[in-house]
């Protein structure tokens, strides 16, 4: 079938499809597109490998972490130059840097996953950046804009007369809608 050819005498409906035309059309229609052929990258939970006083953010991977992950074959290399990690509820992309070290890139809030917290509560800890010296969210604080957006997206946004219960890094919090659209977070129990 020549799609560039214009028949001067006849309508398009008069064209008789051949088996070759039918096969070509079926192959084009049934061919997976670029988005459907992409396999989602597996995120490895490597929280066990980070030092006790690890603080979130983009940084070079700590030596202790590199040593532990090297023994398990979980470091990026020439064959796999980047990997996705989950570290204490936060999603990171690990990549080789020019000095042959490993760079941890803290993914944006939009790319963070919501984990499972205590008693099946959704854990939004990846969206909290103010923490105590031990790495836990403060007992009371305001929700940052990224967390408010995620609460709205997932249906956990509190309403004026109804608080919601969520988890932040494994601890239970009540989220309360305040005047002006702000959300106050208070540790429960």
Query: Taking 80 as the threshold, does the pLDDT of residue 108 lie above it?
Result: no
At residue 177, the pLDDT reads: 92
160-186: per-residue pLDDT in tens? Answer: 888 888 888 778 889 999 888 889 998
CA atoms within 13 Å, Cβ hemisphere of 99: 5
- Specify the CATH number for 41-107; select among 2.60.40, 2.40.240, 2.30.30, 3.30.1330: 2.40.240
Q: Which of 33-37, 61-65, 99-103 has the lowest mean pLDDT?
A: 33-37
Residue 136: which region, alpha, beta or left (left: phi > 0; alpha: psi -120 to 50)?
beta
Residues 32-54 pLDDT 10s: 444 434 444 577 888 888 888 88
pTM: 0.45
Q: Which two tokens stand for residue 140?
A: 């009371």
pLDDT tens across 5-36, in order? 545 555 555 556 677 766 666 666 655 444 43
pLDDT digits (tens, 9 = 90+) for 130-147: 666 665 677 888 888 878
Say if CB 128 and CB 142 are below 8 A apart.
no
**Neighbouring C-beta atoms of residue 179, cutoff 10 Å:** 6
Least confident of 90-94, 97-101, 129-133: 129-133
Which residues of the chain form CATH 2.40.240?
A: 41-107
In this prediction, residues 77-84 reach a mean pLDDT of 81
- Could you tell me which of 179, 164, 154, 85 has the C-alpha nearest to residue 146? 154
Average pLDDT in the 157-161 region? Answer: 88
């Amino acid at each position: 079938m020549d799609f560039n050819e214009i028949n001067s005498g006849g309508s398009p409906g008069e064209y008789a499809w051949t088996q070759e035309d039918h096969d070509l059309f079926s192959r084009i229609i049934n061919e997976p597109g670029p988005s459907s052929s992409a396999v989602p990258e597996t995120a490895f939970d490597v929280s066990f490998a980070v030092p006790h006083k690890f603080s979130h953010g983009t940084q070079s991977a700590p030596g202790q972490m590199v040593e532990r992950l090297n023994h398990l074959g979980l470091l990026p290399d020439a064959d796999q130059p980047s990997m996705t990690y989950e570290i204490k509820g936060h999603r990171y992309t690990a990549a080789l840097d020019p000095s042959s070290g490993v760079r941890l890139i803290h993914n944006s809030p939009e790319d963070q996953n919501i984990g499972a917290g205590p008693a099946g509560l959704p854990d939004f800890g990846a969206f909290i950046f103010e923490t105590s010296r031990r790495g836990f969210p403060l007992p009371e604080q305001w929700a940052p804009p990224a967390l408010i957006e995620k609460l709205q997206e997932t249906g956990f946004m509190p309403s004026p007369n109804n608080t919601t219960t969520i988890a932040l890094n494994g601890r239970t919090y009540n989220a309360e809608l305040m005047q002006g659209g702000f959300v106050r977070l208070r540790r429960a129990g």
